[in-house]
């Protein structure tokens, strides 16, 4: 039985994936002296875009789907290899080397944005077990605090990021089980509803606060959630306070942004890129690297020109990736058909039952 796709969520994902591309477009400019506007925009984007993206991923998570997890794992391996090859060709400007230290073989040290894909795999595996706990969300946050306090944490699996961002995924799943977003959305459909005005106030207040946030030392690095408290010279109590404050702020802002996005009909351009958000997420990074290499240096002295170029470039890049020929070409690498490799859930259940009954 097919279900009707809710355009509201594709609108939200479209706006989010656009901010992902735009954020990567301006990333190299944020620390250039005189580019305070770039740093401001970058911090604004990084405050909410991945927390909300992950919250929505958790919202649509369906447990007991091992075939989907296997597909995601294969897609992760494929794109880790692709990015490893292109990293050497584009960034290092050298021929592909197959030495042990080559980036190509760093399979479980996710390249750039691929930590998210690995995160979805890990979160999908552990969430059914977490939901058996009495207070799953509180426990997930406790793990995040512990790993942020620990000074020496392996870079494999982007472990610190995976644990720090997991509460958003888990919260999304909990909200879906309780039908919270749909309920809030129904109540806030009218532009006159107090929830809409409250959401607008939260967003405008956030924009004002971020003017001051960009002057906080290492404020941008804090949003990445990959460093220990010691990196910021924080005690565990100070780190705990800021950590919980960040969770509260990002979750509150995420809910506000969800309510501000139009619900009734697809947003032109954004709805389509939201539908193909995973394609854009996986493909755009290598195109961004080419953009960085080819972009004239003169742009670094003109902040407004950089913003305009990044906006137009982000829209153009997102539009190109979602064209039918591009989707068709990359679909085997992003949405592979693996019936030849994976058993159906029904067959797996039958074989397991027969094995159990024979004992």
Per residue in 213-236, pLDDT (tens digit) is: 999 999 999 999 999 999 999 999
**Confidence (pLDDT) at 352:** 43
- Residue 104 resides in a domain: yes
Instruction: Report residue 111 CA to chain centroid gap.
Output: 14
In a domain, 237, yes or no: yes
Evaluate whether residue 182 is within a structural domain.
Answer: yes
Q: What are phi and psi of 97, to 5 degrees?
A: -115, 140
Judged by average pLDDT, the poorest of 106-115, 158-167, 246-255, 338-347 is: 338-347
The pTM score is: 0.90
User: Rounded distance, CA 243 to CA 22, Å?
Assistant: 26
pLDDT of 353 reads 44
Could you give the CA distance from residue 188 to residue 196 in angstroms, rounded to a whole number?
6
* Mean of all residue pLDDT scores within the chain: 86
Instruction: Return the percent helix, strand and coil in the chain, to nearest 5.
Output: 75, 0, 25
Please give the Cα distance from 78 to 333 (Å, whole number): 7
79 touches 114 (CB < 8 A) = yes
Please determine, for residue 357, whether its predicted confidence score (pLDDT) is greater than 60.
Answer: no
Q: How confident is the model at residue 304 (pLDDT cuts 50, 70, 90)?
A: confident
pLDDT at 356: 40
Helix (H), strand (E), coil (C) string for 85-140:
HHHHHHHCCCCCCCCCCCHHHCCCCCCHHHHHHHHHHHHHHHHHHHCCCCCHHHHH
| Average confidence (pLDDT) over 92-105 | 52
- Nearest to 55, CA basis, from 171, 177, 136: 171
Residue 205 lies in a domain: yes
Q: What is the pLDDT of residue 207?
A: 97
Question: For the segment 234-273, what is each residue's pLDDT rounded down to a tens digit?
Answer: 999 999 999 999 999 999 999 999 999 988 788 889 999 9
DSSP secondary structure letters along 50-64? HHHHHHHHHHT--SS
pLDDT tens column, 47-95? 999 999 999 999 999 988 888 999 999 999 899 888 877 776 666 544 4
Closest to 223 measured CA to CA, from 246, 200, 196: 246
pLDDT at 358: 46
Token pair in block for residue 299: 């742009």
- Answer whether residue 109 shows pLDDT above 90: no
Q: Which domain holds residue 105?
A: 7-357
If one compares 186 and 15, the residue with the highest pLDDT of the two is: 15
Query: Which range (32-46, 50-64, 256-270, 338-352) has the least confidence?
Result: 338-352
Q: Can you tell me which residue has the tokens 């459909």?
A: 189
The pLDDT of residue 324 is above 80: yes
pLDDT at 329 over 90: yes
Q: Are the C-beta atoms of 177 and 62 separated by less than 8 Å?
A: no
Q: What is the DSSP letter of 180?
A: H
CA 317 distance to own-chain centroid = 18
Asked whether residue 344 is domain-assigned, the answer is yes
The DSSP string of 291-332 is HHHHS-GGGGG-HHHHHHHHHHHHHHHHHHHTSHHHHHHHHH
Give 160-180 pLDDT, tens digit per residue. Answer: 999 999 999 999 999 999 999
Number of domains in the chain: 1
pLDDT at 93: 46
Q: Does the pLDDT of residue 293 top 80, yes or no?
A: no
Report yes or no on 261 lying in a domain: yes
Q: Is 336 left (phi over 0), alpha (psi -120 to 50) or beta?
A: beta
Could you say which DSSP state residue 9 is in?
A: H
In which band, very low, low, confident or very high, does the pLDDT at 337 lie, cut at 50, 70 and 90? confident
Span 142-150, mean pLDDT?
95
pLDDT(96) > 70: no
2 within some domain: no
Helices and strands in the chain: count of H runs, count of E runs = 15, 0
**Domain contains 304:** yes
Residue 190 pLDDT greater than 50, yes or no: yes
CA separation for the pair 87, 80 (Å, rounded): 10
């Amino acid at each position: 039985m097919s279900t009707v796709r809710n355009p509201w969520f594709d609108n939200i994902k479209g706006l989010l994936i656009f901010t992902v591309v735009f954020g990567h477009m301006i990333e190299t400019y944020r620390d250039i002296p005189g580019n305070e506007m770039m740093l401001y925009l970058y911090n604004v984007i990084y405050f909410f875009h991945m927390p909300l993206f992950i919250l929505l991923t958790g919202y649509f998570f369906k447990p007991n789907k091992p075939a989907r997890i296997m597909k995601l794992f294969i897609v992760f391996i494929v794109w880790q290899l692709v990015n490893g090859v292109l990293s050497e060709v584009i960034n290092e400007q050298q021929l592909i080397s197959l030495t042990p230290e080559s980036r190509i073989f760093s399979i479980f040290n996710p390249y750039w944005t691929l930590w998210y894909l690995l995160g979805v795999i890990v979160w999908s595996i552990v969430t059914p077990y977490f939901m058996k706990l009495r207070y799953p969300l509180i426990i997930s946050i406790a793990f995040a605090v512990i790993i942020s306090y620990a000074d020496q944490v392996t870079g494999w699996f982007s472990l610190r990021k995976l644990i720090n961002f997991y509460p958003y995924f888990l919260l999304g799943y909990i909200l879906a089980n309780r039908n919270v977003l749909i309920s809030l959305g129904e109540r806030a459909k009218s532009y006159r509803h107090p929830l809409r005005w409250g959401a607008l106030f939260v967003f405008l207040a956030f924009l004002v606060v971020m003017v001051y946030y960009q002057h906080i030392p290492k404020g941008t690095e804090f949003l990445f959630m990959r460093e220990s408290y010691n990196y910021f010279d924080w005690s565990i109590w100070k780190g705990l306070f800021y950590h919980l404050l960040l969770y509260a702020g990002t979750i509150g802002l995420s809910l506000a942004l969800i309510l501000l996005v139009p619900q009734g009909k697809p947003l032109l351009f954004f709805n389509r890129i939201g539908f193909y958000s995973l394609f854009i997420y996986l493909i755009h990074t290598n195109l961004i690297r080419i953009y960085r290499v080819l972009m004239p240096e003169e742009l670094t002295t003109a902040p407004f020109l950089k913003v305009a170029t990044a906006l137009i470039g982000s829209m153009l890049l997102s539009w190109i990736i979602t064209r039918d020929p591009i989707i068709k070409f990359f679909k085997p690498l992003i949405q592979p058909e693996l019936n030849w490799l994976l058993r159906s859930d029904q067959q797996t259940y039958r074989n397991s039952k027969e094995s159990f009954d024979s004992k």
